[in-house]
Amino acid sequence: MPEESENLKIEYNKLARQFKKLERDYRALSIMHEQTERLRDANEAAKELSNFYNKLLLKNTPSVTFMLDTEMRFVLGSETTLNLLGYADMREMIGISFAALFASAMPETWVAETGARCQHVLETRNSASYEENVTLRNGRNIVFQMTVAPAAEDPDSHSRSVVVVMNDVSELARAREAAERASHAKSEFLSNMSHEIRTPLNAVIGMIAIAAGSDDLEKKDYCLQKIKDASTHLLGIINDILDMSKIEANKLELSFVDFSFEKMIQNVANVINFRVLEKQQEFFTRSDENIPQTLFGDDQRLSQVITNLLSNAVKFTPEKGSICLNALLVGENDGMCTLRIEVVDTGIGISEEQKARLFHSFEQAESGTSRKFGGTGLGLAISKRIVEAMNGEIWVESEPGKGSSFIFTAKIRRGADVSTPALSESNSESLAPTEDDFRGRRILLADDIEINREIVLSLLEDVIPDIDCATNGAEALALYAESPKRYDLILMDLQMPEMDGYEADRRIRALPDEHALRVPIIAMTANVFRDDIEQCLAAGMTDHIGKPLDINELYQKLRDYLPKNV
Amino acid sequence: MIKSATAISYELDDASAATRELAASIRDGLVLEADSVGILICDADADGAAISGELKDMLGINIVGMTTLAALNADGHREAAITLTVLTSSDCTFSAAVSAPLTKDGYEREIADAYEKTRSAAPSGDEKPGVIFVFCPYGLPFSGDKYPDAFAKIVPGVPVMGGVASDDYDYERADVFFSGGKYRNAMVLISIRGAVKPAFAIRHVTSRFAERIRRVVKAEGNIVYRVGDETMIEYLEGFGLKTDVDDPLLAFNSYPMMLTRDGGDETPLMRHISGLNHADGSGSFFGDVPTGAMANICLVNKEDVRAACRESMNALLAETGKRNDYTYSTVLCISCCGRAMILGADSGAEGQILSEMLPPGLKLMGAYCLGEICPTRHSEDEAVNRFHNCSITLCIL
């Protein structure tokens, strides 16, 4: 019996042990099963999310992007690819050969060449990137930036597929062509400029040589007149270039002042009349009486456009032809007047092709025009930008041989009705410089360039001999500080070594002398844009005069700030 | 050369009967040569201390060993079994020792002292061991990496092979034995010197990943606080895994973490979760987790376990094929308990594969452990020993 009992105990122990191990296994398997289920669910959710984003990616990829397998069969692609090929559902395309898929949309040669390239990329594992111009079967022309790249799991493994990305760069290509055209035009412009600048310079240098070698005073006078003409022409060219560079830098800003429209037209006519008479042309002006007497706008820019159109008309109209300037009020709304200005000539006229390029920078009707008629080719481009700044339009109506009508509109606000001084009051031409006499007054002239100082001294020696010179701002400051009341006016260059004109001006104004606050300081500088002038005034200067110096303007400034002795 | 014999007994309830059975089987199959040692691998229900003591007396050799979930012999893995493998040689020495209780602050010294015992006991003690076998207790207050780290300082370059004792997932009865003694906090080791040319192989299971690769941002030793921009627990929950569990070891058994370190020349390490701390969101692992390592969770299934097992044996045989000047006799396999649990009802699969692949004449022994120690790189001059989880490690002598 004890042996039997011992055997039973052993059997019991074995069973108990087996039960315990089963319990352990059950416990382990239960928790492992639960974890597996949970992880599988999470993985499924992650896969679904990944699929969702993959679909979004394909739907929103802007380029034609697709993948081909090693047999050149379609695997997947962006929605743009589907659109190109005319499919609604990508599943329709999967497994179809590249050649069959693309044959419907792309030219046969493209399909063959691109297929071969894909195959080559797959074999060599070297990406290819290139640009090509393709005419689709529907006639549409597209410039594609193509990238064909091998797709492998890692850099060392074989390519499993090839990825093709086709970016439509048509706009970019057009912009690049336009930029290349512009660059070409600029190169041509520079070539023209070289000619245009050298021509008057040649006249200046040649005439100086002739004058220097002649004792005949009449001949010298003749040469000086030619030098003056050439210099004025050169200044016009430089002003045009500077204007255009300002416009290209988007720095064209209009100034708004009340001005007399009639007077402005009269001034323009006065300027152009001289040239009209030279070519024995007829010139008429017609101004609509409904145009308000006073307008509020940028009279200088407006007259610049009209003068430019009239100058062109004079230039391109043969002798004894006629030119007419018409100004009309075509509408007014809430005080905003729409003016229509027409310059009509009986000149050589312009072809349709020429019209298209006429208002572009650096382009004239044809590239030979500047050779024949001169000019920078910038005038109309500048005019167009000014007119656009005035919310207007400019265009030309013309036929070759039948004359031209250059027309523009501009929106200008009605001005305050103020009486304007008579033209003669401010017409500097009416007063001869010799009538001025400022003897007893003393000027302080600051300029670092000797010839500039010499020009001023020479121009003014008859009317105001007492001029002290400084070669930089620091010297000017020292001279003035030594004896402030000695000077009645200061002519101040701006760009000078050691101390510039702005700094000298500020320091003079800061001197502890009441005279220093009111002594007229006139900036005399080659910085002639409106913002340059405004900067001078903001710095505390009294006025501004541009270089090259216009003697009439210089005298006018003296009249304004120095009482005459007469 | 080393000769060996293995014996098996299922007498868990009668230590003396088991001892007699094991001893008789060994005597039948092996003539002991100049020096010998016995390795006892047994179920936690068996009285390993008594059996090892009686075997020492009966065979006159040192017996070292440990408890296991399942012991391995030429017939495969066996649960509720006791296996004894005796190594004997006329040109190798086997010096065995048990360490003093291992402490958190003194384990290096205590391991060094144990090694010194084996060195001084060996007739050629000044000779560098060809391999050291270690059997470690479970549940000490330091990570499994400390064992190979300590040996790297004590005997640099010597390959160390072994594992951490296991039981039936009670975690209460995982002991090591040394000739009659049972230890819960000491390690036992065997230094083998002489004409021994071991080869090693290690494989884990890595065919599928959860693919949420994140960098370990904050870790101290074997505790990971932050992975990417999440706590360790948030990282696990991001996979959908349940973290409020009683037994983290089982709950994350199929989802070990694989660690790869920058540089790429290191074999990726597997790490099993040993505990979760919901208070600070951290997770503890059986081995150290270096800050900066890239972490990913593996999805392990039965086929992965089988495949890794086959790969490891192939790799081991490929190594032995390189040597014509040495005759191998014994394969020691230390595999992870987690692998056995993944195999579930097929828990004998690894043993079966190894048995089938085992070349004729070779003996097979081993155990399922709660941590494996095996070199990841080994040559005659150098061995880089690492602590592993979820891996199968093989050593051939």
Query: Are the C-beta atoms of A177 and A147 separated by less than 8 Å?
Result: no
Contact list in A for residue B245 (CB cut-off 8 A) is 31
Largest CA distance in chain A: 164
Residues 6+ apart with CB under 8 A from A12: none
Whether B346 and chain A come into contact, CB under 8 Å, resolves to: no
B135 touches chain A (CB under 8 A): no
Lowest mean pLDDT among A346-355, A365-374, B67-76, B364-373: A365-374
B79–A contact, CB cutoff 8 A: yes
Overall average pLDDT of the A415-423 stretch: 57
Q: Say yes or no to pLDDT of A247 above 50.
A: yes
* ipTM score of complex: 0.76
Quote the pTM value. Answer: 0.58
Q: Which of A7-11, A208-212, A318-322 has the highest mean pLDDT?
A: A318-322
Cα B295–chain centre separation:
23
Which of B16, B92, B96, B6 has the alpha carbon at shortest distance from B57?
B16
pLDDT of residue A78: 95
Residue A422 has pLDDT above 50, yes or no: no
CB–CB of B344 and A24 under 8 A? Answer: no
List chain B residues with CB under 8 Å of A5. none
Which residues in chain A touch residue B236, judged by CB atoms under 8 angstroms apart?
none
Disruptive mutation site among A20, A35, A36, A154 for chain B (greatest number of B CBs within 10 Å): A35
Which of 159-188 (B) contact A at CB < 8 A? 168-169
CA-based R_g, chain A, Å:
41
Residue A391 pLDDT: 94
- Residue of chain A nearest B43, judged by CA positions: A17
Task: Bin A543: left if φ > 0, else alpha if -120 < ψ < 50, else beta.
Answer: beta
- Name the least confident of A14-28, A46-60, B37-51, B148-162: A14-28
Q: Do A13 and B13 make contact, defined as CB atoms within 8 angstroms?
A: yes
B17 in A contact zone (CB under 8 Å): no
- Measuring CA to CA, how many Å separate A10 from each of B8, B12, B23, B78? 18, 9, 22, 19
- d(CA B337, nearest CA chain A) in Å: 12
Contact B80 A24 (CB under 8 A): no
- What residues have CB less than 8 Å from A47, skipping those under 6 apart? none
B357-367 residue pLDDT tens: 999 999 999 99
Read off the pLDDT band of A26 (50, 70, 90). confident
What does pLDDT average to over chain A?
Answer: 85
Q: Give the C-alpha separation, A24 to A40, whole Å.
A: 24
Average pLDDT over residues A294-306: 91
In angstroms, the CA A43 to CA A281 distance is 91
**Structure-derived torsion over alpha carbons of residues A85, A90, A94, A100, reported in degrees to the nearest 10:** -10
Scored b (16 or more CB within 10 A) or e, A505-521 reads bebbeeeeeeebeebbb
Distances (CA, A) of A533 to A316, A505, A540, B324: 35, 14, 11, 100
Question: What pLDDT score was predicted for residue A370?
Answer: 45
Q: Which residues of B touch A9 (CB under 8 A)?
A: 13
Are the Cβ atoms of B250 and A38 closer than 8 angstroms? no
Q: What is the pLDDT of residue A361?
A: 63
Q: What is the pLDDT of residue A564?
A: 60
The pLDDT of residue A371 is above 60: no
Is A17–B169 a contact, with Cβ atoms under 8 angstroms apart?
no
The reply to whether residue A32 touches residue B13, judged by beta carbons under 8 angstroms, is no
- Residue A71 confidence (pLDDT): 93
pLDDT at residue B209 greater than cutoff 80? no
Interface of A with B (CB under 8 A): 9-10, 13-14, 17-18, 20-21, 24-25, 27-29, 31-32, 34-36, 38-43, 45
Cβ-Cβ contacts under 8 Å, A34 against chain B: 242
**CA-to-CA distance for A51 and A56, rounded, in angstroms?**
9
Interface probe with B: pick from A15, A25, A31, most Cβ of B within 10 Å: A31
Closest CA to A442 of A515, A528, A548: A515
Q: Do A13 and B12 touch (CB under 8 A)?
A: yes
Within 8 A of A21 by CB-CB distance, chain B residues are 79-80, 168
Please give the pLDDT value at position A517: 92
pLDDT at A420 over 60: no
Q: Is B210 on the interface with A (CB under 8 A)?
A: yes
pLDDT of residue B312: 96
CA distances to A481, A514, A516, B237, B331 from A484, in Å: 6, 9, 7, 87, 112
Give kind and range of the element (H or E) at residue B368: strand B363-369
**Cα within 13 Å of Cα(A426), Cβ side:** 8
Fill in the amino acid letter for B340: A
- Tell me if A31 and B251 make a contact (CB, 8 A cut-off): yes
Q: Which residues of B touch A45 (CB under 8 A)?
A: 240
Q: Which of A24, A32, A39 sits opposite B239 (nearest CB)?
A: A39
> Could you tell me which of B326, B358, B307 has the C-alpha nearest to residue B196?
B326
Residue to test with chain B: of A11, A26, A32, A154, most B Cβ within 10 A: A32
CA distance A46 to chain B (A): 9
Chain B nearest CA to A114, separation (Å): 36
Q: Select the residue of A10, A13, A31 nearest B247 (Cβ to Cβ).
A: A31
User: Is B235 an interface residue toward A (CB < 8 Å)?
Assistant: no
What strand order describes the sheet that includes A443-446? A467-470, A443-446, A489-492, A521-525, A543-546
B209 in reach of chain A (CB within 8 A) = no
pLDDT-derived band at A433, boundaries 50, 70, 90? very low
Nearest CB to A25 within list B12, B254, B344: B344
Give the model confidence (pLDDT) of A33-79 as tens digits: 888 888 888 888 888 888 899 999 999 999 999 999 999 999 999 99
Band (B356; pLDDT cuts 50, 70, 90): very high
The distance of A37 to chain B (nearest Cα, Å) reads 9
Segments making up each domain of chain B, as ranges: 2-203+304-396, 214-299
Is the confidence at residue B253, as pLDDT, over 50? yes
Determine the distance in angstroms separating the CA of B149 from the nearest CA of chain A, rounded to an integer: 32
- pLDDT-wise least confident of A261-265, B32-36, B44-48: A261-265
Residue-wise pLDDT tens digits, A112-157? 999 999 999 999 989 999 999 999 999 999 999 999 999 887 777 7
The per-residue pLDDT for B26 is 97
Q: For A15, which residue in chain B has the nearest alpha carbon?
A: B80
**Which of A17, A18, A27 is opposite residue B250, by nearest beta carbon?**
A27
Q: Give the per-residue pLDDT at A381.
A: 86
pLDDT at A329: 95
B100: Cα separation from own chain's centroid: 20
Distance from C-alpha of B332 to C-alpha of B162, rounded to nearest angstrom: 9
Cα–Cα dist B6/B363, whole Å = 7
Q: What percent of chain B has pLDDT over 90?
A: 76
- Least Cα distance to A373 among A275, A304, A303 occurs for A275
A42/B79 touch (CB, cutoff 8 Å), yes or no:
no
What mean pLDDT, rounded, does chain B reach? 92
- CA distance, residue B265 to nearest chain A CA (Å): 18
Does position B30 have pLDDT exceeding 70, yes or no?
yes
Judging contacts by C-beta atoms under 8 Å, the chain A residues touching residue B250 are 27-28, 31-32
Which chain A residues are within 8 Å of B255, Cβ to Cβ? 35, 39
Higher pLDDT, A252 or A443: A443
Lowest model confidence (mean pLDDT) among B30-34, B335-339, B340-344: B340-344
**B344 vs A29: CB contact, 8 Å cut-off?**
yes
Query: What average pLDDT does the segment A322-347 reach?
Result: 94
B257 in Cβ contact with A60 (< 8 Å): no
Cβ contact (<8 Å) for A38 and B79? no
